[in-house]
Amino acid sequence: MTLTPFGTRLRAAMDSRGPLCVGIDPHAALLAQWGLQDDIAGLERFSRTVVEALAESVAVFKPQAAFFERFGSKGVAVLEQTVADARAAGTLVVMDAKRGDIGSTMAAYASAFLDPASPLFSDALTVSPYLGYGSLAPAVDLARESGAGLFVLALTSNPEGAEVQRAVREDGRTIAATMLAHLAAENADASPMGSFGAVVGATLGDLSSFDLDINGPLLAPGIGAQGATAADLPAVFGKAVRNVVPNVSRGVLRHGPDVTALRDAAHRFSDEIREAVSA
């Protein structure tokens, strides 16, 4: 099975539902805040509630694989069901697993998340390029074949990232700029938008020294609890702002388990983002 390319499907979802991406991050403190136990039953209840509350109104869900994997095989089974339920409801799923390796191991990671025959098949996967961009080739190839996408770590919101991402190569270009250039090449001639995106933090301020116009999506963590607001997006992303997929996790999830409160929070963020991006 080969789907319509991820970039095309994402553009349609963003145009019809708005660009908001909601993280599904069932960490122990949040489960407790919801009045749930930090166990499989709590994990199932949390994930099911988020999907049921928001699947018809947001463009993208981004489950964080680690919060499911910490429960072992039963947690992965919940993750499989969460992905299946979200996609069945028409919401795109970006698996936040940040995989990165070489050769057959990278190919196995890609197969786990980008092969339509896999129970964890997702519309896109976050990947780490810091074994060299070329090490991602198995994931790039399989994403093209299946119609999935990738989000490559480029300019992340964590302060520690700068020591690697802003390091300068012998040619005078930063590592982050090199990754962005690779992605622009992957997306060359794609329309309406390429399937190979970058992770770029919304908290990073002025990024005008980087060419973010890669003809692909920019997954932007940092809105809400990390301190960035929707109003910050145009200043951070410039002319590439239309392709930004702002990710909000705690800012929405802290309103659960009340379904109405979750929906209201997501709608507020979505409206603020639409206004900022279209201004």
Confirm if 125 and 148 have CB atoms less than 8 A apart.
Answer: yes
**Closest to 226 (Cα-Cα) out of 205, 200, 249, 256:** 249
- Give the Cα separation of 33 and 64 in Å (integer): 18
Confirm if 228 and 273 have CB atoms less than 8 A apart.
Answer: no
Confirm if 31 and 42 have CB atoms less than 8 A apart.
Answer: yes
Tell how far CA 17 is from the center of its chain. 16
Q: How many residues does the chain have?
A: 279
Q: Helix, strand or coil for residue 13?
A: helix
Residues with Cβ within 8 Å of 258's Cβ and at least 6 positions away in sequence, in order, are: none
Q: What is the largest CA-CA distance in the chain?
A: 54
Q: What is the rounded radius of gyration, in angstroms, for the C-alpha atoms of the chain? A: 18
For residue 46, list its beta bridge partners: none
Tell how far CA 98 is from the center of its chain. 10
Is residue 98 flagged as an active site residue?
A: yes
Please identify which of the residues 62, 74, 98, 239 carries the catalytic annotation.
Answer: 98
- Give the Cα separation of 107 and 125 in Å (integer): 13
122 backbone φψ class: left, alpha, beta (φ>0; ψ -120 to 50): beta
Kindly list the catalytic residues.
98
